[in-house]
Amino acid sequence: MTMGVDPRDLGDEDLIRELRHLHETRTETLFHGSDDALERHTSRTQELEGEYLARYPDRQVDPERLREGARQRSA
């Protein structure tokens, strides 16, 4: 069940803004939110991230964010 605007109805800029805001508020919700708030935060994040991945399946992946990149940094 989607609460708020269905992610499919958001424009690209709005979707990215919503994702950024959720990621900014995650720690505060984890540390101080109720169980219901944390559950809702998690489900909304999954909804928005799922929509982002559906729109950008071939998004650019930073090689430094891959295991191989981490191995090279630690060598």
> pTM of the prediction?
0.81
| Alpha helices in the chain, H assignment, sequence order | 12-32, 35-55, 67-74
Q: Is 62 left (phi over 0), alpha (psi -120 to 50) or beta?
A: beta
CB 59 within 8 A of CB 12: no
| Alpha-carbon gap, residue 59 to 33, rounded angstroms | 32
Angle 43-46-51 from CA coordinates, rounded to 5°: 130
Residue 14 has pLDDT above 80, yes or no: yes
Residue 9 has pLDDT above 70, yes or no: yes
CB 38 within 8 A of CB 30: yes
Digit-coded pLDDT (tens) for 61-72 = 888 888 776 566
